[in-house]
A and B are shown apart, each in its own frame.
Chain A
Amino acid sequence: MIELLLCLAWAGLLPAWTGVLLLRALGPSCRSLHPLTRVVAGAAFGLGLSSLLAFVLLHLPGFGPGRLWLAAPIAVAALYLLARRQRGQAPAAQPSADCRIHPGLRLGCGLALLAAAWVFVWKSQLYPHSEGDALLIWNLRARFIFLSGEAWAQAFAAGNGCAHLDYPLFLPLGVVQLFSLLGAALPAAPIVLAAVTSTALAGLLFAALIRGGKGDWAAVGLLLLLGTAFVEYGPTQYADVSLSLFMLLSLVLIQAADERAPGAGTRLAALAGAAAALAAWTKNEGILFLLCFLLARLRHAPALGVPALWRRDRWILLGCLPVLLVLVWFKLSVGSAGDVLLRMQEDSSWNERLLDPRRSVEILSAAGRSSLLHGYVLVPGILLLGGLVWRRTAGAGRREMEAMLLCLGLCALGYFLVYQISSDRLDWHLRSSMDRLQMQLLPGLIFACLLPLARRAEPGSGQ
């Protein structure tokens, strides 16, 4: 129990504090987010920052993996000092923390949250050491780094037993921080981290849909998320939940930046860029997401013009930069080229596979099967809902929705193309990853479809 509480403090409270301080330090526009969004987004940023800092600390003399528990307190201290400098600024208009929800929806959400918590506890008891890739890739890497001590970089040496040396380190270094706190590689560490990221993802989706003091659509969004296999992915300790968290966070923040007056949302845009880059620091699919995120911004070019788009979106690039620098440092120093890229270099027949219609059919039917098996049967309903909402939404709201759906659609297309050209056995590749890729995109899809509905509750929406 002590281990769990310690881990919870380090993986939950300290990151949330770090992130809230970060948002405070960035000024009034960030402080004007809904209080729950601030806490949840803060926790995500806190985890991301301490993971990046941990990677930097690993390279400093005297900081082996055993002392990485210091990363989170150092991040808090640094941001506390930074936030203190902002004290003199005019306070931002604080949004109401009210959240009125229809009693039926409130009851449904309560039951769903209880059920989800039960599934988490049940599965964590059943697989305390996780399963599949979580055991053999993410937690294995964490163990290897932690147990190797000063020789941690050898964990990335070819032939030393770890596969996928190019996989980014958000999750392994998060786990290593907790291992170092506990002084041992105990299963409590990845379990708590999984609990925090799962809760943050569900909480962020809920918080981002609270508008005008009403939370009905937020409750619907939460129910839709919990009605899928998402509830089972959290306790598996896979990195996909963390990736999905950063993907959703970047969409939420860029939407918050867009709805502010020109020039008022620049820091939120920078944070959105940082969140998208943290997705890349979590999984290689996050790199694809980051590209799609930036490409989707071009959707606004016809309405705004390129110069105005650049003035607005350069802040996204600025936000990406620090995280991407660490990612590039990792990839060029201890990481290696991606497995998929390496295999493609060795196998020149990828262009034949790209044009093979049988593979396309197999991929699409696997997507359908996976939907049926993993609870994504709700997805057609969500898309239908999105279509109805799109028809009834106009102006900036419609453009925002289109940009978010375009980003997610480009991501899905990217996944499709990777399957199409992959030199791995296609049936194995589909069986081992299709469901998780769908899960990565689901929270963003729910957010994009429900946001225009939630905004109708805002004052002045005319609804």
Chain B
Amino acid sequence: MQPITLLAAALSTSALIALGVRVAGLPGSVQPSPHEPGALLDRFAEVRRELDRRGARPPLGLVTAIPIEVAMAPLLETYTDATLAAVRGQPVDAGLEAWLIEELVDLVQARGEKPQSVQRDACAVVVRQRFIPYLRELQMGPRRYALAPYLVDGEPGGPGSLCIADLPPGSDLAAQAAARGMDLLVGFPNGTGVLRVR
């Protein structure tokens, strides 16, 4: 047998073994996705432990105050009644915060700053980059979530709240919100929404 043939045979066998090892490494049954509540709760605990270990002070107070599940639940494709519950302000899954915290900590550390020093900006960045399309999806989904009262009725939810409004096109709510001292305004694709982060 020629060296090339021998080498090719050895490589093919190695490839088959490597694939076998890869398949054998898969658990026998599909585990909950990291996007599933149970796994996220575990991950949340891990993140907290890691932050404690580093001695970092994450913006937990800020994040906890934000009913972030409103945006996160659809982001994670949990099209369930839990989403509706979250929209109504009921707690859904604290574990969903973990992902956000991780993002925040990454962002903050990327800037070479301590987590607590840029809480607000970091949060704004995360919200802008991750949530808006899903908020839009909330509006257009089969269950049209009427979020406007949170803001239109002047109920911002307290300091550190995330407020979401579902507005008709052409609404001047953006101007109204700015007049109320909004920290951040982000338009939805057709200009029908306002998002506030304090």
Contacts and interface: CB of A to CB of B under 8 A. Distances in A.
B1 interface: no
Contact of A227 (B19, B76, B186): B19
Q: Is the interface of A mostly helix, strand, loop or mixed?
A: helix
A136 interface: yes
Given A160-B189, A187-B77, A127 B33 contact: yes
Highest count of chain B CB atoms <10 Å: which of A126, A127, A140, A226: A126
A380 to B, nearest CB: 10
A154 B110 CA distance: 29
A227 B133 contact: no
Given A112-B19, A129-B77, A144-B189, A220 B12 contact: yes
A126 B189 CA distance: 31
A151 B17 CA distance: 51
A441 to B, nearest CB: 17
Nearest to B192: A151
B61 interface: no
B14 interface: yes
B126 to A, nearest CB: 11
A155 interface: yes
B22 interface: yes
A140 B76 CA distance: 11
B187 A453 contact: no
B140 A159 contact: no
A344 interface: no
A385 B130 contact: no
Contacts of B134: 143
A147 interface: yes
A381 B22 contact: no
Interface in B1-41: 3-4, 7-8, 10-20, 22-23, 26, 30-31, 33-35
Contact of A231 (B14, B22, B31, B133): B22
A226 B189 contact: no
Interface string B126-154: 00111111101100100000000000000
Given A122-B30, A136-B130, A231-B22, A160 B187 contact: yes
Interface residues of A, number: 58
A162 interface: yes
Contacts of A161: 128-133, 186
A185 interface: yes
B11 A105 contact: no
A228 B18 contact: yes
B190 interface: yes
Interface in A358-393: 375, 377-378, 381-382, 384-385, 388-389, 392
A353 B187 CA distance: 38
Contacts of A389: 4
B162 to A, nearest CB: 14
A129 B4 contact: no
B22 A159 contact: no
Contacts of B23: 115, 118-119
B7 A381 contact: yes
A49 B82 CA distance: 41
A223 interface: yes
A125 interface: yes
Contacts of B190: 148-149, 151, 154
A232 B25 CA distance: 12
Nearest to A216: B8
A217 B11 CA distance: 12
B18 A227 contact: yes
Contacts of B22: 115, 119, 229, 231-232, 375
A144 B22 CA distance: 35
A224 interface: yes
A125 B30 contact: yes
A83 interface: no
A116 interface: yes
A112 B16 contact: yes
Contacts of A453: 4, 8
10 contacts: A105-B12, A116-B19, A118-B23, A118-B26, A136-B130, A220-B12, A375-B22, A378-B18, A385-B8, A453-B4
Interface of B: 3-4, 7-8, 10-20, 22-23, 26, 30-31, 33-35, 76-77, 110, 128-134, 136-137, 140, 186-190
Given A232-B22, A378-B15, A388-B3, 7 more contacts: A112-B15, A115-B23, A144-B189, A160-B133, A161-B133, A231-B22, A381-B14
